[in-house]
């Protein structure tokens, strides 16, 4: 129940409607298969071409949070939401 409350709070704080968002985990594979920042932006642009304004959430484990924080500083990532692990 505590985890559910945390998720609901995060969604509400970021104004994310449960019916209209996409989640990308660039780190879902082994290190050699991780997506690059450029790949994530390309995928995001493809999503936005079909669904303008859709919220895109980037997620990763605690070891990946530093990389996501760096990406958020780069052009093109301002419209992405980075969730904590």
pLDDT at 30 over 90: no
CA atoms within 13 A on the CB side of 54: 20
Backbone φ and ψ for 58, nearest 5 degrees, come out as -105, 135
Distance CA 28, CA 20 (A): 22
Q: Among 11, 22, 13, which residue's Cα sits nearest to residue 52?
A: 22
Tens-digit pLDDT profile for residues 60-76: 888 899 999 999 999 99
Q: How confident is the model at residue 4 (pLDDT cuts 50, 70, 90)?
A: confident
In the chain, beta strands by DSSP E: 21-24, 55-58, 80-82
Task: Tell me the pTM.
Answer: 0.81
């Amino acid at each position: 129940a505590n985890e559910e409350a945390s998720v609901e709070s995060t969604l509400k704080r970021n104004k994310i409607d449960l019916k209209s968002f996409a989640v990308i985990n660039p780190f879902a594979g082994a290190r050699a298969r991780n997506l690059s920042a450029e790949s994530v932006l390309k995928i995001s642009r493809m999503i936005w071409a079909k669904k303008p304004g859709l919220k895109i959430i980037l997620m990763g484990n605690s070891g990946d949070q530093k990389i996501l924080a760096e990406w958020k500083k780069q052009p093109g990532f301002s419209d992405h939401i980075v969730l904590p692990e």
